[in-house]
Structure 1
Amino acid sequence: MRVGLAVLGAVLVVSGCAGAAPPSNSPAVPVFSSAPAVAGVERTVPDNCGDVATLDELTRYLNNLVTGTVQPIVGVAQSNIGRTARIDCYYGVQAGQPMAKAKVWIGLASYVNEESARKRLTVTVADEQSAGATVSDVQVGADRGVLVRNANWMLVANRGRVTVVVQVIPVLVREDHAGALLGQVADRALTNR
C-alpha cells in the first residue's frame, strides 16, 4: 500500500513539475467523433449536401445554431487541375440572401491522385497568404489540415485524393476554438457515411 501511495505521489509531483497550465475560465471545446471511416475506403464526393453534413450536425460541431437553407452546387471534372468531382454546400442561407452570405460553406473535391489533391491545397493556402491571411496547422481526425484566418475562418485538408474546404463566418466560432471546431467539421465531411 505504501509503495502504491509513494508511486502516486511521485507521479503527482512529476506532473506538477511539467508546467501544468492554469485553469481556464473558457468552456471546453466539445469533441464529437464522426462515423468511423472504413479502412482502405476513400471518401467519395456525394451529389447531395446531406451526405457532406447536415444543419443539425453543424450546429452540434460548431456549438452554435446554424439555421436557414442548404444550397448545393454540383461541380464538374476539370482535367487541367486533375479534378474528377466536386460539390459545394452552402449552409445557413437566409431567405432572400445569395449563397455568398451562407454561414458555412463546405466544398469537397476529388482528384486523379493524392499529389494533385495536395497541390490544390497548397495553391489555396498560398493564395490566401498572399492576400494577407494567417495560417496554422490543425488536427483533422487522424490527419492534419491548415486553418486560415482571413475575413472568415477557413480550414483546408485532404484525405488521400479528396480535399475539403470549410469556411465559417467569424461570429460562429471563438478564435481559440476555431481550429478544433472546424477540424471536426472537416473530418465529418471527409468521412463516408
Structure 2
Amino acid sequence: MGGALSCVGLVGLLGLAGCALPGGGAPPAAATTSTTPAPTTATTTPAPVFVVPGACAQLLTVGQVADGLGVRLPGTTTYVVGEPQPDIGRTARITCGYGVAPATDTAGASDPLLEVTVFVYDGPAAAAERVEVLVANQEQQGVRADPAVVPGADAVLLSGPADTTLVATVAERTYALTLLPGLLDAPGTQGALQTLAAVAIAAGDPADGSAAATG
C-alpha cells in the first residue's frame, strides 16, 4: 500500500495529523466547513381541558338514559348551573334531572327520577377529598357504601332507603348519579348507574385543548 493511502487510512480511522506525503513536506491543510445550527423553537401543546356541559344532551341524551335504564322516563329534563365554592376547591357544578313531571296550576314540578350532577374541582386531590367526606357522612347516616365498577374512574355506590347514588371520580371531575327507587331492583339499579356513569364520563373526556371549564 502506498504512503499516501496509508496516511489517508490513519487519518480516517484514528484522526492522526502530520502524516508525510510522498516527496516530503507537510500535507496541505484539510479544508474545513462550519455550519450554524438552525434555531429551534419549543412548541407546547396545551393540555386537554374539560368542558362543563352546556346542556343535558351533552352529558346524557334522553335516548342514552332510556338505553341505560331499559325504560324511557316520562316527563321533561331540567338543567341547573351551580355556584363555584372556592373554599372546597370546587370550580363548577351542573345538575341534570331526567324524568321530571312539569309543574301544574296546583303542584310544583316533581323531583327527577334520575339526577346526574357533575362537580369540577381545582385538582384531583380536592375531588378525592370531597368524595371521602361525602362517603363518611353518608355512612354515619346509615347509608351503605359498596365498590362500583366504572372504567377509568374511582367509583362507589351509596344505597339508602330514599335513593341510590353512584359517585365516580375521574381526575378533577366527580359524577354523582342518583336514581329513585321503584324503577329497577337493586342489581339492576347498580348496573344501570354504572353504565350511565361510563357514558357520561366518556362524553366529557377532554379530547384537545380547545375547550375550557366554565360555569
Partner of 2:191: 180
Question: Which is further off, 153-162 or 171-180?
Answer: 171-180
Partner of 1:120: 130
- The CA distance in 2 between the partners of 1:130 and 1:67, in whole Å, is 34
**96, 116, 120: which is aligned to 1:106?**
116
Task: Give the counterpart letter for 2:172 in structure 1.
Answer: R
**Within 5 Å, which residues of 2 pair with 1:28-177?**
41=48, 43-96=50-103, 98=108, 101-150=111-160, 151-177=162-188
Work out whether residues 111 and 117 of structure 1, in 8 Å CA contact, stay in contact via their aligned partners in 2. yes
**165, 190, 193: which is aligned to 2:201?**
190
TM-score using structure 1 length:
0.74
Structure 1 position 129, deviation (Å): 1.0
Greater percentage in helix: 1
Structure 1 position 181, deviation (Å): 1.4
Structure 1: which 5+ residue stretches go unaligned? Answer: 1-39
How many aligned positions are there?
A: 154
Moved over 3 A (4+): 40-43, 97-100
- The CA distance in 2 between the partners of 1:56 and 1:155, in whole Å, is 20
Task: Give the counterpart letter for 2:163 in structure 1.
Answer: N
What secondary structure sits across from 1:110 in the alignment? strand
What secondary structure sits across from 2:149 in the alignment? strand
What secondary structure sits across from 2:166 in the alignment? strand
Percent pairwise identity? 27
Structure 1 position 99, deviation (Å): 5.5
Structure 1 position 52, deviation (Å): 0.9
Structure of greater Rg = 2
Task: Give the counterpart letter for 1:147 in structure 2.
Answer: L
Structure 2: which 5+ residue stretches go unaligned? Answer: 1-46, 205-215
Question: Which is further off, 78-87 or 98-107?
Answer: 98-107
Work out whether residues 44 and 192 of structure 1, in 8 Å CA contact, stay in contact via their aligned partners in 2. no
TM-score using structure 2 length:
0.67
Work out whether residues 55 and 67 of structure 1, in 8 Å CA contact, stay in contact via their aligned partners in 2. no
Cα distance, 1:172–1:43 mapped onto 2, change above 3 Å: farther
Cα distance, 1:130–1:178 mapped onto 2, change above 3 Å: same
- The CA distance in 2 between the partners of 1:166 and 1:131, in whole Å, is 19
